[in-house]
Structure 1
């Protein structure tokens, strides 16, 4: 038996040319996403996201727009994506089933991320809604695939599940804010319903989805923390910004707290059930 064969973990096959291609493309996709982020920050040739399309994505554009500091979560997400890209490129990761299962989905998320930034830079809010909706679907598929094959190492849990979870949780909130911004910019009517009621209703839907996700995935903290983070900053924006709404603020903060409480409860219950079964 060769030395390489002895070093392969049980159940892992030899790397193939397709594995090397996937690893290389993920690295390239990460570079594209980072370039998009630099443009979107306004540092190189672009306009800061809150100022694009006449401020349609700014913190006071709609009642479900998060306050500016909420977007600092992107620094953590990008750091996780870079660490994931480097890690997945290691020879030891090339043929792992988990990497094969989600590699191209993560690549798609990176490219869609860059495409979203380019679309809003061009002022194409309607297009950006389609792009971020596609990004959300891709991240859901990624998360489902990861759940089917539980993490076996700390690196798996942090660099795959953690990064994908934060990414998904934030994009859930960002999708709602993006859709609301596009509708307001297009002057779509509210069917005679108060915008404050609309804002509360949308936040309740996000809370329900966030809680359902926490129950389904066994109480993973990453998606819950990211979605609660976004909701909490919506609450802050509605209390302190130019577009204030105490009712929406309270709803958003309560929704953030509820998602975290449900997540903790699920983890505690799962731990207790495991103890009773052991």
Structure 2
């Protein structure tokens, strides 16, 4: 098999995976968050959970991933600049296509899967090329940024929902994990501001969800995280 044929097949696989990922909410029962009863300690309004509006970003993620992978197949299917990220992105999206059914059945399984999605998405992000930024880098950066927040939220829900920590400490642990990942990635990948901005989107939603009643510890740490990400944007690390 020639290199050009192999690259074309990966371009096709990436688009198919993006379509499957976007179709998964419609081909399953959908997902509106974990049900409180899925946990031994019901999570009715956990401090770690962002405000509901923040999840609307999934629409943008689905559409941009489809558009980006479609452009890649149509115009850049055999471009070397696009090749390194495609296998990792395809794997992440295929895991994501199965995530909603898993989340409706098992919180621990869904947590493992979303961390696998994040890991493979970050592998793709670090391998994204320099060409066609709006189609190649931007959708992957936003996808990875939201997964950074979502995977950390899942840790907080497991810690609180399985009685390992009280609600606020569980949320603080989750935020520390999210910020450790986000700051490391943004420091090493300065050319992807969309990643950090997406994490900020999630952090703002965490602050708003903890406004009434005001949880100063969780909201304060989220605010510190926003400031830290913005401070990194003021440096040049590449």
TM over 0.5: yes
In the TM superposition, what are the counterparts of 1:166-185 in structure 2 within 5 Å?
Answer: 166-185=142-161
Question: Structure 1-normalised TM-score?
Answer: 0.75
Q: CA deviation at 1:60?
A: 5.0
- The CA distance in 1 between the partners of 2:43 and 2:200, in whole Å, is 17
Paired position in structure 1 for 2:108: 126
Q: CA deviation at 1:202?
A: 3.3
In the TM superposition, what are the counterparts of 1:130-149 in structure 2 within 5 Å?
Answer: 130-146=112-128, 149=129
- The CA distance in 2 between the partners of 1:32 and 1:199, in whole Å, is 32
Q: Count residues in correspondence.
A: 235
- The CA distance in 1 between the partners of 2:102 and 2:34, in whole Å, is 14
Counterparts in 2 of 1:28 and 1:213: CA distance versus 1, 3 Å: closer
- The CA distance in 2 between the partners of 1:106 and 1:116, in whole Å, is 15
Q: CA deviation at 1:61?
A: 4.0
User: Is 1:68 paired with 2:49?
Assistant: no
In the TM superposition, what are the counterparts of 1:68-147 in structure 2 within 5 Å?
Answer: 68-90=52-74, 92-121=75-104, 123-146=105-128
Counterparts in 2 of 1:237 and 1:59: CA distance versus 1, 3 Å: farther
Counterparts in 2 of 1:252 and 1:60: CA distance versus 1, 3 Å: farther
- The CA distance in 2 between the partners of 1:60 and 1:53, in whole Å, is 5
- The CA distance in 2 between the partners of 1:209 and 1:48, in whole Å, is 25
- The CA distance in 2 between the partners of 1:233 and 1:86, in whole Å, is 31
SS of aligned partner of 2:49:
coil
Counterparts in 2 of 1:257 and 1:60: CA distance versus 1, 3 Å: farther
- The CA distance in 1 between the partners of 2:5 and 2:33, in whole Å, is 42
Paired position in structure 2 for 1:3: none
Q: Structure 1 residues 105-114 or 205-214, which shifts more?
A: 205-214
The answer to whether the 8 A contact 1:229-1:256 is kept is no
Larger radius of gyration between Structure 1 and Structure 2: 1
Q: CA deviation at 1:181?
A: 1.8
Q: Structure 1 residues 158-167 or 176-185, which shifts more?
A: 176-185
Gapped regions of structure 2 (runs ≥ 5): none
User: Is 1:188 paired with 2:163?
Assistant: yes
The C-alpha deviation readout for 1:60-118, integer Å capped at 9, x for no partner, is: 5422111101111111111210111210111x412111222111211112111111112
The C-alpha deviation readout for 1:164-206, integer Å capped at 9, x for no partner, is: 1111111011001112223333x2323xxx5424433432342
Where do 4+ consecutive residues of structure 1 move more than 6 Å?
Answer: none
- The CA distance in 2 between the partners of 1:24 and 1:86, in whole Å, is 8
- The CA distance in 2 between the partners of 1:205 and 1:179, in whole Å, is 9
User: Is 1:202 paired with 2:174?
Assistant: yes
Question: Structure 2-normalised TM-score?
Answer: 0.87
Counterparts in 2 of 1:253 and 1:219: CA distance versus 1, 3 Å: farther
SS of aligned partner of 1:235:
helix
- The CA distance in 2 between the partners of 1:82 and 1:100, in whole Å, is 17
Say what the alpha-carbon RMSD is for the aligned residues: 2.6
